[in-house]
Structure 1
Amino acid sequence: MTRAFVFPGQGSQAVGMGRELAEAFEVARLTFEEVDDALNQRLSRLMFEGPDADLTLTENAQPALMAVSVAVVRVLKDQGKLDLRKHATFVAGHSLGEYSALCAAGSFSLADAARLLKLRGQSMQKAVPVGQGAMAALLGAELEQAQAIAADAAEGQICSVANDNSSGQVVISGHAEAIDRAIVLAAERGLKRSVRLPVSAPFHCPLMQPAADAMAQALANITILPPDVPVVANVTATAVSDPSQVRSLLVQQVTGMVRWRESVQYMKAQGVDTLVELGAGKVLAGLAKRIDKELTATSVGSPADVEAFLKTL
């Protein structure tokens, strides 16, 4: 078995996430307290109790999802002596999940990862006035088809592919009017369904440049260590270990496309046969099966999941 550990992105959050872990494992509870202290915010209470509207806010969802992922990693290390160098070939994360992956692999301290993601969420929200940007999922589209639709719908505005998640699931992002035009074009070109996503900003497109600038400034002042195992970066879909390259790619990631389908294919081509999703939800495990049916994928987010996974080490 050759594993890669993968870490979920925004959309996987849900009220109650991490609560069972904190109740079952002291190391998880201490992880959440460490994040609370770093942010000077009771984020853990929001994670455990809601309300959902506050948890879904980008500036809260991003550090919260990272906190759950890192708590799972720390529990596995504490309970089963998980050793990334021994038990994983790569780590990778979807959008904000790349920060979770880097923290899990020792590149970032937990406090730095939490503060960076808080800033990232705030900066992405502020980059575009509410209502001016939008995102939509083009269901049934392949990447090249989605790129053509986005280009034709732009008409001088921004409209580009934000996430290449899997075959048949591509997300576009940009000016709201351009996204609406793209949805009409997609229907005219035979796509089975296109839906606007309930997001507060147009992520992973050039409209996010102010957020990229903010992250460049913040990351310049953060210590980044070489990860314990290579990280497969969103914007290149290839492995990276050099801290200066990690820093640069995280800045590019804010405006760049999340090449998740290619990232998974890259790991498979390097011999990975099992993806283990660590954290909230099961989104990435589901995508793995759509990307390559030969891959085994599992999600570890609850005490029961932890117990089952430890038996495979």
Structure 2
Amino acid sequence: MNFAFVFPGQGSQSVAMLGDDIYVPIVAEKFEEASDVLDKDLIKLVKEGPVEDINKTINTQIIMLTSGVAFWSAWKKMGGVNPKVMAGHSLGEYVALVAGESLTFRNALNLVHIRSTLMQNAVPDGVGGIAAIIGLNPIIVEDICVKASSKDSLVSAANFNSPIQTVIAGHRTAVERAIELASQKGAKRAVMLPMSVPSHCSLLSPMIENFSSALDDAEIRLPAIPILHNASLKVAKTVEEIRKVLVQQVVMPVNWTKLVNIFITEYQTSKIFELGPSKILTGLNKRISKDVENMPIDSLQSMEKNIIKIGD
């Protein structure tokens, strides 16, 4: 069976999202390691919140990275085989890099901590916004963003999540104008998302130089498993290319629709597993194509039921 793994990013977080799985040793160990990096009790934060703290980019990114890596570690410990190809949605790309042995978990924690801190500092609280537009063609949404933008207040498409869902990001005032225009155009839903920093947009340009330096200093290897990158929609052939696409990803939109179709057409993927405490990507994938089976693995129990081992 040709199967792929995808790893969710920001927007999938919630209080108690891991249930009691967070106390299972292979999961708890990863969270204890991440807690050392942030110097805070992440197990307590995930279990108890408050939601306002979980939704802070500097916490969300570490939490989602750690959850994904913990699930990957559990998959391997249970005897699961490697997928033919992988991808992560936005922040989830760093989980894929750890799974592919391109980054160590420790190096990924350090990079994501730097990334999230730079993102938080690049856009003051209340200045940026991010919203989901559902029920409109992406081309219409892009046109709405142009109309909602002005010289000093910009909004653009950040995620092309499915043929009917586009996430937009930018200055909060422009995002609010775009939401109003989308509603007038007949969008089924147009709502702000619980993220403290707008992602994949020009507002993050000020962080590029410092983040590029951090990536230059990081130890990165070519992955053992092919990873389709958000920015290029290709598998990187050199370490320098990996560094380049991780920088580009900060300000470029994620074209998830095209990425999933590449899984199917170029890798003959018949099944996509979403690995992590989320079913969001599974829902998006089902709207993108009916030619592939989608399976969320959002708990260790569901992992035990769906594990693919050598010989299966």
Q: TM-score, normalised by structure 1?
A: 0.92
Residue 266 of structure 1 corresponds to which residue in structure 2? 262
Cα deviation, residue 19, structure 1: 5.1
The answer as to whether partners of 1:138 and 1:172 remain within 8 angstroms in 2 is: yes
Report how far residue 60 of structure 1 moved.
0.8
Residue of structure 2 aligned with 1:216, choices 206, 212, 217: 212
Q: What residue is the counterpart of 2:34 in the other structure?
A: 35
- The answer for the alignment partner of 1:132 in structure 2 is 127
1:230-249 matches, within 5 Å, as 230-249=226-245
Which consecutive residues of structure 1, in runs of 5 or more, have no partner in the other structure? none
Is the contact between residue 230 and residue 239 of structure 1 (CA under 8 Å) also seen in structure 2? Answer: yes
**Percent identity between the aligned chains?**
37
The corresponding residue for 1:188 is: 184
Q: Counterpart in 2 of 1:2?
A: 2
> In the alignment, residue 194 of structure 1 is paired with which amino acid?
A
User: Residue 245 of structure 1 aligns to which amino acid in structure 2?
Assistant: E
Contact 1:20 1:302 in 2 (8 A): no
Partner of 2:15: 15
Matches within 5 A, 1:32-181: 32-80=31-79, 82-84=80-82, 88-156=83-151, 157-181=153-177
Matched residues in 1 for 2:18 and 2:108: separation?
17
The answer as to whether partners of 2:11 and 2:195 remain within 8 angstroms in 1 is no
2:226 touches 2:235 (CA, 8 Å); kept in 1?
A: yes
Residues matched between the structures, number: 308
Distance in 1 of aligned mates of 2:177 and 2:63? 34
Q: Which stretch shifts more, 172-181 or 94-103?
A: 172-181
1:27-51 superposed Cα distances (whole Å, 9 cap, x missing partner): 2222222222333332233223322
Deviation at 1:198, TM superposition (A): 3.0
The structure 1 residue matched to 2:203, chosen from 196, 201, 207, is 207
Distance in 2 between the 1:38 and 1:241 partners? 30
Output the CA distance in 1 between the equivalents of 2:306 and 2:48: 27
Distance 2:42 2:154 in 1: 34
1:241 Cα offset (Å): 4.2
Misfit runs of 4+, over 4 Å? none
Match of 2:296? 299
**Matched residue type, 1:133:** G
Instruction: Report what 2:225 is aligned to.
Output: 229
- When residues 23 and 175 of structure 1 are mapped into structure 2, their CA distance, relative to the original with a 3 A threshold, is closer
Change (3 A) 1:199 1:30: closer
SS at match of 1:198: coil
TM-aligned CA deviation for residue 52 of structure 1: 2.3
Q: Which amino acid aligns with 1:163?
A: N
